Amino acid sequence: MTKPLRIGVAGLGVVGTSLARLLHRQANALAMRAEGPVVLAAYSARSPRPERPEIAAARFWGDAVELAAKADVDVFVELIGGAGGVALAAVKAALGRGLPVVTANKAMLAAHGLELAALSEAHGAPLFYEAAVGGGIPVIKTLRESLAGNAIRRVSGILNGTCNYILSKMETERLPFDVCLAEAQRHGYAEADPTFDVGGFDTAHKLAILASLAFGSKIDAEAVSVEGIESITLDDLVAADELGYRIKLLGVAERTAHGVEQRVHPTMVGKGAPLAQTMGVLNAVSIDGDAVGELTLVGPGAGGDATASAVAADLVDVARGVRLPVFGRPAALLSDADRVPMQRHEGGYYVRLTVVDRPGAMGAIAARFGDRMISLEAIMQKRATKEWAEAGVVPVVLMTHGTTEASIRDALARTLEEGVVREKPQVIRIERDGV
């Protein structure tokens, strides 16, 4: 019988526990796929867990770095999380001794991916990370292997289930943001401090990884322009619905005339697009390649079982002896990531304005937009509520044809200076193609 593949797991939280159960439950199937048994031989956690049958035979280590550096294992699995600290030290220790590493840690890869790729190559130790982006969706394998014959033009996706849940619930149940956020926290979809998710930073880390694989660039999370969903109101979702769109938090990396744009922001997506139809906590990624065209992968983006599924797939690759450059090509051949300013972005825009109810106000707005050569596709004036009427303002929604970010921002700044608009305008980018 083939020698067992001995696994050392650092971290027995939700994902680590799910992985241990999966290895126990699917032992026979994994043994056939990996051409030998896959066994949990060692683990680190805050305390030993001998009462769990799937863990009882594994050796407990109180220190994850020591496990990575000394344990008698064939592969090290990092499920601690965090960009640095113990997780990073443990991964570096494992790679340094030539151990293959499997991780689900997108924050660590976004911050230290290039360093880890170089360390992986120097010691001949493969680094796998399917679970870091999209949970159970096999997007890393798709970009790194299945689409190797394509020139990728664009990658876009819903990469955070918390935000997608909140926006879906706001739309379908006509509830405000704070109510839906509280519901997400009750269900465990959002942390007590949800900033990392709703602020778009989690999506930005994942997008930086996908952009590196898609365009052969060094991971650079600082190259990603980031906006969260905190400013999205029920009024915006209702207006989007009436106009034939849904609002999604998208991560988009695409090749443009100015370089590769990397951006995360709320986006108006046509209801017929696959990403618009991805609701609840699901994730989805659309990839546009020159040979294959556009394909979309949809599935659970988080959760113990889905993430453990991706980790197990990487473990089977390790057992089969798969060896791939971490980001699809040798680290020395990765190019510097383009840092394209958001002001250069070109596309359509949804703009919601609180317009002063006086003669000539709309004319002044139209003039400022005309000065910047912005063509309006649609104007929708909402019926003013009693509160709006008492305040002397009227809510107006504008939809533009293609223009630049710089132009739209300049036109809106001028309307504010002239006093015809109160409050900060709401601006949401429109994705009409490629999603």
Return the beta strands (E) in 182-322 as ranges: 225-226, 245-256, 259-270, 282-289, 293-300
Residue pair 260/254 in contact by the 8 Å Cβ criterion: yes
Residues belonging to the chain: 435
Tokens of 310: 């991706």
DSSP assignment string, 73-114: -SEEEE---SSSHHHHHHHHHHHHTT--EEE--HHHHHHHHH
Candidates 92, 106, 141, 206; catalytic one: 206
| Angle subtended by helix axes 177-186 and 161-173, to nearest 10 | 130
Tell me, yes or no, if 206 is annotated catalytic. yes
* Alpha carbon of residue 240 to chain centroid: 23
Residue pair 322/30 in contact by the 8 Å Cβ criterion: no
How far from 289 is each of 10, 272, 337, 339, CA to CA, in Å?
37, 21, 19, 22
DSSP H or E run through 203: helix 201-215
Radius of gyration of the chain (CA): 24
**Which residues does the annotation mark as catalytic?**
206
